């Protein structure tokens, strides 16, 4: 009886030690990047003529090492690009502003797109807006 108990305890200890090693070896850590708009509820939905608008976006690196990001922001009213370097678990918020020109109201929706590129990968986020004139 005592021998069975010792064998069961030995097997339990072996499984407790071996299981995490098995998991780490067979399921490697996943590396990825997050990109999102800050305060998405405040993004402009309707744009008036000759008015300034602001927005910001954040890039969060969950990559394995230091990562260089190139970003490109594109819409009818803004065309910007830049570079950001992040270390693992680091983030950077970029604040942007643009001013609309004089325009007529349109029924067609347009979008503002932020594209980031790194290590041959590309991710994008966007929001839709409608020009409403004055």
Residue 18 located in a structural domain: no
Identify whether 15 is part of a domain: no
Here the CATH number for the domain that contains residue 63 is 2.60.40.10
Distances (CA, A) of 127 to 19, 65, 131: 45, 30, 13
> 121-133 and 46-48 as β-strands: parallel, antiparallel, unpaired?
parallel
14 in a structural domain: no
Q: Is residue 108 part of a domain?
A: yes
**Domain residue limits at 103:** 32-133
> pTM (2 decimals)?
0.76
| 19 vs 36, more confident | 36
Asked whether residue 10 is assigned to any structural domain, the reply reads no
In tens, the pLDDT along 40-51 reads 999 999 999 899
CA torsion sign for 103, 105, 111, 114 is positive
The per-residue pLDDT for 24 is 63
Instruction: Dump pLDDT digits (tens) for 67-108.
Output: 999 999 999 889 999 999 999 999 999 999 999 888 888 888
Q: How far is CA 115 from CA 26, 65, 91, in A?
A: 33, 21, 16
Give a yes or no: residue 114 inside a domain. yes
User: What is the structure's pLDDT at 15?
Assistant: 76
Is residue 4 in a domain? no
């Amino acid at each position: 009886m005592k021998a069975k108990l010792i064998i069961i305890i030995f097997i339990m200890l072996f499984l407790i030690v071996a299981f995490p090693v098995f998991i780490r070896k067979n399921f490697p850590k996943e590396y990825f990047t997050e990109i999102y708009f800050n305060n998405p509820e405040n993004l402009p939905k309707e744009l008036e003529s000759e008015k300034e608008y602001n927005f910001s976006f954040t890039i969060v690196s969950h990559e394995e090492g230091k990562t260089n990001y190139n970003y490109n922001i594109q819409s009818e009213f803004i065309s910007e690009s830049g570079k950001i370097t992040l270390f693992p678990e680091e983030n950077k918020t970029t604040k942007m502003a643009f001013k609309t020109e004089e325009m007529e109201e349109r029924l067609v929706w347009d979008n503002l797109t932020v594209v980031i590129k790194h290590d041959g990968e590309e991710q994008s986020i966007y929001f839709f807006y409608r020009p409403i004139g004055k």
